[in-house]
Structure formats: structure tokens, C-alpha cells
Structure 1
Amino acid sequence: MRFFLKHSLILLTVLLTVSLTFGQSLQTDSLVVKFDRFRRTDYIEKIYVHINQSALLVGETVWFSVYAVDGSFHKGTQLSKVAYVEILDKNNVAVAQAKIALNNGLGSGSFYLSPLINAGNYQIRAYTNWMRNQPPSFYFHKQLTIINPFTSLERKKGVSVDKKIIAAFFPEGGNIIAGVTNKVGFKLSSPDGKGVASNGFLLNDKNDTLAQFSPLKFGIGNFSFAAEAGTVYRAVIKTNEGYVTYPLPTVKPIGYALRVIDNKDHFEIVVENKTSTNWPSYLLIHARNKIVLCKAIESTGEPARIQLHKTSLPDGICTATLFDAMMYPAAERVLYKHPTEKLTINAKLNQQDYSPRRPITLDIETSSPANLSVSVYRLDSISIPSSSTILDYLMLSSELKGVVESPEYYLSNDPHKEAALDNLMLTHGWRRFNWTDVLDGKKSEKKFVPEFNSPIISGKVFNENNEPVANILTYIASPSKAPRVYTSRSDAAGNIQFEMQNFYGPRKVVLQTNTKLDSIYHIQIDNPYATDFIDSNSDDFQLNTSIKNSLEERTVAMQVNDIYHRASHEKFSHPAIDTTAFYGKPDEKYMLDDFTRFPVMEEVLREYVVGVVVRKRRDGFHFMLVDHPSKTVFSESPFMLIDGIPFFDEDEIMSFSPLKVKQLDVMTQRYYLGYNHYSGVLSFRTYNGDLGGFIPNKHALVVDLEGLQLQREFYTPTYDLQKNRETRLPDQRQQLYWNPKISTIDGKQQLKFSTSDLIGNYIIEIEGISTDGTPGKSRTIFAVKNYNN
């Protein structure tokens, strides 16, 4: 009997162990499956914008290159084909906006800075339409200083500077837990968000001093203390106005403590269960939507220690999330692995110093095939190289909450950078999703659709009572020599969307319904740009008198270039697009200059347009086209157009002067446009493709819209020949070269440009990303000297 009981207990223990292990395995598998499902349905995009300089004058041009990548692998996005780039002032008012065409995630553009722009610190902001489904903190932001030399250099008097210190505290793991040693990150900042160096100390409710602390870098630091349940803790910070007290988060009597220790070649993750149960917990480590580790952790009464070798981690930021037995996120910590794979960019000049007006040869070599952008400009007290590059943005800033001050520092060789980086992880950690959505399998609603091919113009149809109307067919077109018409039928909420192909530059656009059937409806179009913003805490911009000499020199150079080279700066390249009308080759085409000209449209249609039958009745004119395939006549009116703009009233067509029409196209068969069909097409095309002065129907909405930005050509003279160098035209270029589209397919590329008349030190800034998603940067200095030869 004892033998039987003994072996039964052993068997029961084994079965319970197996059952528990199996249950834990099911939990981890379920967590992995749910996270992977979420990842596959929630595609993430990031954008980085490389600008030619971080400080410019009005009258100069901002040149920029756009890198749009997927959030997981940093390869060029295949989802979006349009990027939105803006320059915003301190009130989030746009002074410049553009839609930039993307090809494999790459695009470029420019903004001429009008003299009407006020001096100040502005923000370059960029995003895709798909990214608008996330908060604006996920958009790209970068400061751009614009100086207007025609404003006073005097510093404004009476401007008070807010010296208040803002303190924030971030317990490691998320909570302060009683009974363990808690590490707490802190950030001390001024109202403009800049870090502040100050001292502080930690007190309990008995006024005992438990710790003293000061920030290590940029106002960020940490301290540790053993917390007790029921005790209230506060931090006291020394400021210019005395001492200020800040409460710490409330101590949790029970919970999970999560600590991360950086041991150079590996991270040690320490988990302490301070709950009343011995149930297991689950650790999930993920990076850029990719799972690194999912592990069940037994509760043994002692801290669990997980060794995580850095070679097993992807480069950049990882997030460790601890779930309790009920799969509720209990603690979280962000950690960082320095990039081991970098795109190496070597820039080699054919010499180190140059005379004015001399050719320069620049050889670029990359460690792998890459797409790069290159900016070459003169260094002065205004033009200071940007503190942020594509490397630190993609690998650091884009994954952290809030603005990271001097992000390039964390990738430098400073001996304190590791400790500073750990402090940054404590204070800026975040994630791009809600764990509840992931675990519940909930799909987040997407208000904004990706623009797979071209810009989308959206809007809404209303009736005379301003109520949205469903199932109304709408049309959009722009007067053109290459007619294009797009249709959209309103959904249940009255929404309409048009995908505008080959839509470039400023255009006049006509939106309408079939006014002959439903003239009571009107259309409103949506703002294509995002209308939500991050908080802006920048100070009022003040010009510093120390830049006076550089400013005067730059101002003269800007005006000289404007006078002598304006035409060269106003050249735009037009993309090669199909100029065929949307209906293709017409069945009948009439070049009206080949026939006897009639002053009245009725005579033209009756006399020599074979495929059109004209009838005049009491209610006006009616057109009926011959259906050649069936050898019959359509009973309904054809689809009528002037320069691509639909017209639904034959009387309007008849009132148009045929002397302004160059060509008449006729489709003598049933024509399908989208899901709609028409009894043929009758298309009038004027000489200039501009409606010839004809005004669309009064019920139509006529608006000016910007399509994709046309590419401004960067002007650079060549001085290979002596006669070119001897020209008397002044060359005051401060920006010697800009090229947003450098491709090193075989790892090499050679560039040629020339120096100007300006002597001084110049910088070559190269940024880019390899075809496999690895970012890189390079900076090279050279000099232009006057050797008098």
C-alpha cells in the first residue's frame, strides 16, 4: 500500500509539473501568436528628412531629401507613394507645404523661403497619409532656423525668461514597489524642453534624506532607494528661486519589479515577484515589431535573472514587457543596443584645398549599395551642422517619446554615454501600441488610407440642408491638354475619394455632380495635410549680434544670386507622363483647322462630325452618338467634356465658341469609366487646354490645389574651362552642391561640382540608407583659399 501511495504521489507531481509547463507553453505561444497577428496587420512607417542646412535666410532655398521606410526593417516603404512635408511656425501655422512623390520610399523637394516669412525657429514636419492614423508625435520633426535679414538685429527688451524647472520622475519598470530597491529616472527641464543642470534630494514623510541626485547629461539622471509601503516620498529640487518640492509616484504595496543591468556584452534582466501569489509571469522582448524573446518565469521567492546576450538582439531599441499570470502587462523597460551594423560612407576629394571657381571631384564609397543625399555648403556663424542625422533618428529618436536633446551624443565616443543612454531609456521609453488591443486581437480603426499609387483627394457630399448624402456620383478633373477625369460615389457617410494619377504642380480643379440630375448637392474637400500637432515650447526667436558680419555677407550673396542667377534657380523638371486622353484613341478625331471654320457650334456638329446626331427640342439641344458596334443610335446623352472637364448640359456646349476648339474627339461606342458607363464620349480640346475662358457650371466647386511637387533643378556652374572662370558674372554661392538622388549600386559614385567666389571652410554632409535598411552618415571639411593665381 505504501509503495502504491508513494508512486501515486510521484506520478501526481510529475503530471502537475507537466501540466504547469504545458500551460506556460500555451501562454507564451498565445502571446507570440497575438503579437505576430498584430504586427502583420499594423504596418508601421517612419520618415526621415535630410535638409541641406539647418539655418537659412529668406531668399534662399530649403532643399530636402525624404527617406520613408518600414518601421521594422528600415527598408524603403512599399506602402505609401506620397509624403507630406511642411514648415511650421511656433503657432503650428504652415508657411510652406508640399506633396512629395515617393519611389521605393525615396523622394525629394525644395521650398523657396519668401522674404515675407518672419525670422524664427520653425519645424520641418513630414509624414505619410498612413502615418496620420498615429498621433503626431510619430511624425518626423526637425528644427529649421529662418533668418530675415531685413528685421532688426536688436534683442527685444523686456522679454522675460521663464526660469522655472519642470521635474518628471520615471520608476524603472513603471512603478515603485515596496520591499525592493527601486531605480527612478528623472528629467529636469526648462519650459522650452531643454535639460537643466540642478541638484536635488529625496525625502520620506519623516523628512529623512534618503538620496541626493543631480543629472548626468541634458537634465537626465537617476537615483535608487528602498521603498516602504505606506510611505510618501518627495523630491526637492534646487532652483534659482529656491527649493521646489515634487511628489514621487505612490508606492505600490504589491507588484512586479523589473530591473535591467547593462554588463557590457549582455543585459541582465531581474524580475522580482512581490505579489501574494506564486503564479508564473511572462517576459516578452520585442524590437521594432519583431519578437526577440518570449519566456515564462517561475516564481520561486527569489529574484529571477535572465541573461540576454547583446548578439541576440537587433540594433537599436528593444522593449521588455512583463505580463502577470492573467496576461496583464505589469512592468516594462526599454533597453538599447548600439548598432553593430553601420553603413560606412567614405568621401574622398581630389585635393584638400581649392581656389575660387575651381572644379571639385568627390569620390564616394559605401560599404554596401545605398541611396544617399549630399549637401555641400560654407560654414559660418549662421550655418551650423545639424545635431541630428538619419543614423541617430532611425536607431534612437524615432523609437522614443518626446524630443531627444542632442541625439548624436548618445552615439558618440564619450565615456559617459552608456550611463547617459540608460538614463534616456528610463525617461523616454514608449511603445507605438496599446497592449489591450494586441491581447484582445482588436484592430485599430484606420481613418486614413495609404496612398498606394498617387495623392488621394477626399471630401464629402452634402444636400441643401448640409446633411451628408450617400450614393451620389461625383467627378473631379483639371483642365488640361491631356484630359483626365476621376469619379467617386459617396458612401453612407457622404465621403468621396479620388486617386489622382500624374497630378503634378499647382492645378485648378473642378469637382461636381451631374448637375442636370442633382443640382441640389454640393461638395466640400478635406485638407490633405494633418491638422493635429505636438506641443511647441520653443522660445521666441532672437537674432544674436554676434552673427552680424556673417549675416551681412550672406545677405549680399543672397541678393547677388537673386539678381544674376534667378532664372537658373527657377528651372523645374517635369516628369515624363502619358499625355494620351483617359479614353485612349478616339474612334473619330477632328482637327478643326483642317475644316471650314464655323462661328457656331451647332454648324460644326451638324456639318462634319459624322458620329454625332444633333436634335433641338423644347427643352434645348440633345446630342446622341452613333453606336458603331451595333449600328444604332444611343438614346442617352454622351459623356461631354471640354479640356477634360465634364459638362452635362448640351446647351452649355452649344454656347461655347468653336473658334477656341482645336480638336474634337468622339468615342462612338459605349464607354466605361470606373463602375459607370456612358453612351459614348464627346471631347472638345482647346488650343491651350485651359477651357478657353469658358466657366464651369455654377454648381461646380472650382478650387486651386497643389499636386505632387515639381522638381526644382539645383544650379551649379562649371569651371572646367578657363573662359568660364573668367566670366565677370559674380558667383556668390554659399550652397555649392545639393543632390538628393545618389545611388551607389556597386558601392561607388563620383560627383563633380565647383567652388564659388567665396573663400572659407566648407562641409560635405552625406546621409543615406543602404538597400538592406542600414543608415549611415559622413562629414568632410575642405577649404577654399585665395591663392592669387
Structure 2
Amino acid sequence: MNRHSMKLVVIFLLFYSLVNSQSNTEDKLQSIDYKDIPQEKVYIHYNSSLLFTGEYLYYSLYCINAKLNLLSDLSKIAYVELVGEDKKSIFQHKINLNKGVGQGDFFLPVTIPSGNYKLVGYTQWMNNGVKNNFFQGDISVINPYQGNQKNILETSDKKEINSDSDLIQNDNTNVKLILNKKKFTKRSKVQLTIKDIRSNLGYGNYSISVKKKDTSFQEASRYSTKTFFSLYESQQSGSPKKIVPPELRGELISGKITPVDSGTLVSNKKVAISIPGENYELKIAEADGDGVFYFNVDKAHIEQDALVQVLGDKEKFRITLDDPKSPDYSDLVFNKFSLSSESKSSVLERSVYNQIRNGYFSVKPDTLALNDDKSRFYGDIAQVFNLDDYTRFPTIRETLVEIVNNAWIKKIDEEQYVFQVRGYESSSNYAFLPLVIIDGVIIQDHSTIVDYNANKIKSIKLIRDLYFLNSQMFQGVIDIETIDGDYYKSFRSEGVYSLTLSKPLPIKKYYHEQYDEATKSTTDHIPDYRHQLLWIPNLKFDAKEMVIDFFTSDNVGQYEISLEGFTDKGKPVSIREILIVE
């Protein structure tokens, strides 16, 4: 390992320790010479700069180490926003990055007005760099279902719009696209070959779009990977007043606790977050002297609901979570797309095609690549009691007595009870209570679930060892899973705050149309007016050649094949080819 790599490892470990220890976190973050860590830059390959409501925006995101011009292994989360001319965000997506590459999409609803927008991409670490160093690409939206089109109607002061060809520089020095032919009939197979032409130098990460070129409209330009490198600065400028830490291991969720009584100290208070569900996530952090805390969420979660509470005396504190920091959009300059009256028939045709396509979406659905990781934070060391294997008892109280060995309920006074777990050692320290969980929710007041209906419970998992979660110690773990898995929906407790998280987008597997004898009986009667024939957001190319098959639609015209990405050596690759459907 070279000196540069060793230096980065040391700095990464320092950042990791800071966001987990939380002792005077803000002060320690400011003490780091952040210039020792390379900045990042983001490139987004998106399918079109002109979209109608009722269509999908597809995009692939590449996060680049700005010093080495290689895919970055620093940030694990990126952000994509669609920003209107009023500088307000239509959406903000969190994107999981796998070795610097991520993907997403957005269905444009009819609530979005016609107008000019910016597609913006960045990481939280980039918020420490020079102003306006985030990726920005132009997108124009036509909403034919709203009457007010003043934002895009042609006027006398119409500006010249750069076409895609102005900013696209075909680069096939390492990779070549080969079509089996140039012209195709409706619903016919297209064979596209990606070929490495320079002894493995073309190996890399790419995305491919095949979309109709609608010559009735003048689309705004899209940057290729090659022009992108020359446009975005790569160095930090000065030292920011407040460093925004990178998301090294996954989502970095930050917040602050404030005391209800001004005399209550917040330093070193433990804060717990539960992201419930079948694959729940549970984290404990320690607040610093200002009450600031950070959670590293490194496990994919489906649920957006989260429960946050201070451990011990939870009623004495208020909790707020921070929103992810967005760049400053005040200097954004928008493209001026305009629509002429001559385009009326084209708008009508494309709108009708979209309605037909969306009407048949249920028979051509995209699917989610689901996370199969159902492991708990404690691993597989728990003893499992599946209650259907036993005679059921009315409440948790009786169930612990009759079924769950080495766990019981201790009465403190007339109305207060605590759970206890017998350790393996005779000297078990019962001064520490067990960690009690239901469907991922930490239960601090054990008395509230003593008489919970055990007929709703699927299983109880028991750990008898002394258990440390972050720096908090527990005498064992009692993990209760209900049949419906939704205990959190009805859970209410003073001092427990229910908050909504912005979760990363799940990975999609996009539907690819197939026409052959085997599918003929089911596809012949279904109209196919796709504008987008193919979208592959993440293609790892590591062979001398790769063949991709896809099918044309009933929508005749000229289609553009767009390949964008970066070789393993960091060289940008941008290729365009044309095919015709007759």
C-alpha cells in the first residue's frame, strides 16, 4: 500500500471514530485538514433532456475521485434532485453507491408544470468544495394536461438552444458499438455488440440508453463524460466554516437532543434509533456536549418510519433530525426551451402513446432487486422460540414463565415491572436490564408490554450473554417479532419521537420487451409505442465483447443509442450510434 493510500485509510478511520464516539464531534471535525481527503465530482447519464409528464426520467450516477479521476470509494450515498426555475426541489433522491456507481428513476406526474428544470447530483462531501461544483444538467418538461403553458411557449426573445451534438464528443478509442444492421422493422430484434478494441483498456462501468430522437422538438444539450471532465473543478477552495462529513459507510443521519428543562445536561446521553420492519435497523449513538449525534445506517431499509429516543429519562429531552444538506442553487441558470404551435400534432401523438403505454404497465412491470439480508444486529447466536411450536398463552407474562427459559419478569412495585435474563455465568449482573425489542422498537418501559397479547407474537429470540450495542451494555437481548410485523404503527410513548426518513432508492430491474414465437400469443394484441427501447443503468464490461439484444416497438423513427461511462483506468467513454425503425 502506497503512502497516499495509507494516509486516506488513517483519515477514514478518524472520521469513522468521530461519528461513532460523538465526543465533541463538531470540534474534532473542524480539526481535520479536510484537504487531505480528495474531493469528489458527480456525473449523471440520463435518458433525455426533454420529457413529458407520464414518462420516466432514468439516470445513472458516477461518483469520481477528483484527484485520481477514478470511481470514488469514499461516499456510499449520493443525492439527485430535480430543481425548478423557482429554485425549489421537485424531488430529492438518496442513491446507494456501490464502488462509486448508483442508479435511479422518476416518473413525472401530471402535477409537474411545463417548464425548464435542472437535474442536480452531488454527495454530502462535495458540500465542502467550491460553490456550484455539483453536477447540473438541463431537462425540459412538457405537461400537455395543464392549460397554462406560458413557461415554454415560443416568444420573440427566444434564445438559441445548443443541441446534443454540440456537447457530445464520440470517443471510441477503447470501446466500439456495433449494430447487426442500421434499419429495422417494427418489433424486431436488435443485436448490439460492445467491443473492447485496445487489450482490456475498454473494461469499465457503463450505462446504455436507446431512445427515440424526436425531431419535432429542439432538446437541450446533455454533457458527455468527456466534456464533463473539462467543466467541473476538482479542488477544494479555502476551508469551510463547518465541515460536512462524508457518508463513508452508508446513510449518515444526524440530529440534536435538547433538554425540556434547561438545567439538564445533554453530554454523553445515549440516543437510539429504530428503523422498524422485517429487516429492522437499530443503532445507538452518544450525544456530544451540544447534544449533536450521528447514526451510520449501513443496511438497506424499506421503511421510512423511524423511532428515536434518549435511553433513560427519555421524557426529559426533545429530538430533531437534520435534513441532508443541499447545495446553493441561487446561481442556477436555466435553459430556455420553447414550444411552437407547429409542434401541436407531435405533442398530441406522444401524449396518446404515453397513455397507451401506461395503460399496459401492469403487464410490463419493472421489478425491485430486494435485499435478502434478514440478519439481526446480533447475528445468529440467539435461541429462537417460535410460539406456534408450543401451547400458546394469553400474554407475554405467562409466555416467559411457561416457554422462554432463562427469562422472567420482575415486579418492582405495584405498577412497575422489568424483564430479566439469566446469563451463562452464575455471577450475572442483574443491575443491567436486557435490551427488549418488538419489531425493531426498543421498549424502555417494560411494564407497558407485560400483558401484551401473545397471540399476536410470531417468535421470541433470546440472547443470554452480556451484550454491548455501541457503547451501551445490556444483560442479554429479548427480541420479539409479531405476526404482522407492525407493532411500531401503534406504538406510542412519551419521549419517543416518530420521524420520517428519506430512504435510498431501491435498485430496479427494468422490464425488457421480448418478441418471439414463445410470447407471440400474449404480445400480439398489446400495443407497443415505446420511445425508450432500452435502459441499462449499470453495465460492468469486462470481456472482449458483449452482445445485448433488445426489440424495437411500433413507434417508427430514428433512435439514438447512447453509451456513457468510465474505464477501469478512469478514462471517460462516450459513444452515440443511430438506428432506424421503419
Contact 2:408 2:421 survives alignment (8 Å): yes
1:48/1:747 Cα in 2 relative to 1: closer, same or farther (>3 Å)?
A: farther
Moved over 4 A (4+): 37-40, 153-163, 339-343, 443-446, 465-468, 539-542
Deviation of 1:504 after TM superposition, in Å, equals 3.4
Q: Which residue of 2 aligns with 1:476?
A: 273
Contact 1:56 1:147 survives alignment (8 Å): yes
- What does residue range 32-47 of structure 1 map to in structure 2 within 5 Å? 41-47=36-42
* Matched residue count: 538
In structure 2, stretches of 5+ residues that fail to align are 1-31
CA–CA separation in structure 1 for the residues paired with 2:527 and 2:581: 16
Aligned pair 1:114/2:109, yes or no? yes
Deviation of 1:586 after TM superposition, in Å, equals 4.3
Aligned pair 1:557/2:353, yes or no? yes
Normalised TM-score (structure 1): 0.64
1:393/1:614 Cα in 2 relative to 1: closer, same or farther (>3 Å)?
A: same
CA–CA separation in structure 2 for the residues paired with 1:706 and 1:503: 12
Q: Which residue of 1 aligns with 2:397?
A: 602
SS in 1 for 2:81: strand
Contact 1:121 1:145 survives alignment (8 Å): yes
Match of 1:54 among 7, 26, 49: 49
648-657 or 493-502, larger mean C-alpha shift = 648-657
Structure number with greater CO (CA < 8 Å, separation at least 6) is 2
Contact 2:140 2:220 survives alignment (8 Å): no
- What does residue range 163-178 of structure 1 map to in structure 2 within 5 Å? none
SS in 2 for 1:627: coil
Match of 1:64 among 59, 66, 69: 59
Deviation of 1:763 after TM superposition, in Å, equals 0.8
Q: Which residue of 2 aligns with 1:511?
A: 308
Aligned pair 1:737/2:534, yes or no? yes
SS in 2 for 1:606: helix
Q: Which residue of 2 aligns with 1:433?
A: 237
Q: Which residue of 1 aligns with 2:226?
A: 391
Match of 1:614 among 379, 404, 409: 409
1:102/1:760 Cα in 2 relative to 1: closer, same or farther (>3 Å)?
A: same
Aligned pair 1:770/2:567, yes or no? yes
SS in 2 for 1:348: strand
1:630/1:92 Cα in 2 relative to 1: closer, same or farther (>3 Å)?
A: farther
SS in 1 for 2:355: helix
1:576/1:534 Cα in 2 relative to 1: closer, same or farther (>3 Å)?
A: farther
Larger radius of gyration: 1
1:546/1:504 Cα in 2 relative to 1: closer, same or farther (>3 Å)?
A: farther
CA–CA separation in structure 2 for the residues paired with 1:510 and 1:782: 52
Aligned pair 1:707/2:503, yes or no? yes
- What does residue range 641-680 of structure 1 map to in structure 2 within 5 Å? 641-680=437-476
Contact 2:114 2:151 survives alignment (8 Å): no
SS in 2 for 1:399: coil
Aligned pair 1:365/2:195, yes or no? yes
Deviation of 1:576 after TM superposition, in Å, equals 3.6
CA–CA separation in structure 2 for the residues paired with 1:647 and 1:351: 65
Which letter maps to 1:488?
Answer: A
Q: Which residue of 2 aligns with 1:284?
A: none
1:469/1:547 Cα in 2 relative to 1: closer, same or farther (>3 Å)?
A: farther
Which letter maps to 2:226?
Answer: L
SS in 1 for 2:360: helix
SS in 2 for 1:569: coil
1:38/1:649 Cα in 2 relative to 1: closer, same or farther (>3 Å)?
A: closer
SS in 2 for 1:470: coil
Contact 2:171 2:573 survives alignment (8 Å): no
Contact 2:220 2:337 survives alignment (8 Å): no
1:610/1:576 Cα in 2 relative to 1: closer, same or farther (>3 Å)?
A: closer
Contact 1:81 1:101 survives alignment (8 Å): yes
SS in 2 for 1:504: coil
1:505/1:685 Cα in 2 relative to 1: closer, same or farther (>3 Å)?
A: closer
In structure 1, stretches of 5+ residues that fail to align are 1-36, 164-189, 196-217, 219-338, 401-430, 435-442
Once the two structures are superposed, residues 314-370 of structure 1 have per-residue CA deviations (whole angstroms, 9 ceiling, x without a partner) of xxxxxxxxxxxxxxxxxxxxxxxxx99975432111111111011110001244212
Q: Which residue of 1 aligns with 2:432?
A: 636
Which letter maps to 1:353?
Answer: K
Once the two structures are superposed, residues 447-474 of structure 1 have per-residue CA deviations (whole angstroms, 9 ceiling, x without a partner) of 2111112111111111115799322100
Deviation of 1:65 after TM superposition, in Å, equals 0.6
- What does residue range 9-20 of structure 1 map to in structure 2 within 5 Å? none
Contact 1:84 1:529 survives alignment (8 Å): no
- What does residue range 76-91 of structure 1 map to in structure 2 within 5 Å? 76-91=71-86
Deviation of 1:74 after TM superposition, in Å, equals 1.2
Once the two structures are superposed, residues 597-649 of structure 1 have per-residue CA deviations (whole angstroms, 9 ceiling, x without a partner) of 22222111222221112222234112221112336462332111111110101
1:635/1:376 Cα in 2 relative to 1: closer, same or farther (>3 Å)?
A: same
CA–CA separation in structure 1 for the residues paired with 2:64 and 2:444: 45
- What does residue range 138-217 of structure 1 map to in structure 2 within 5 Å? 138-152=133-147, 155=150
Normalised TM-score (structure 2): 0.85
Deviation of 1:669 after TM superposition, in Å, equals 1.8
Deviation of 1:124 after TM superposition, in Å, equals 0.7
Which letter maps to 1:743?
Answer: K
Deviation of 1:708 after TM superposition, in Å, equals 1.7
Q: Which residue of 1 aligns with 2:378?
A: 583
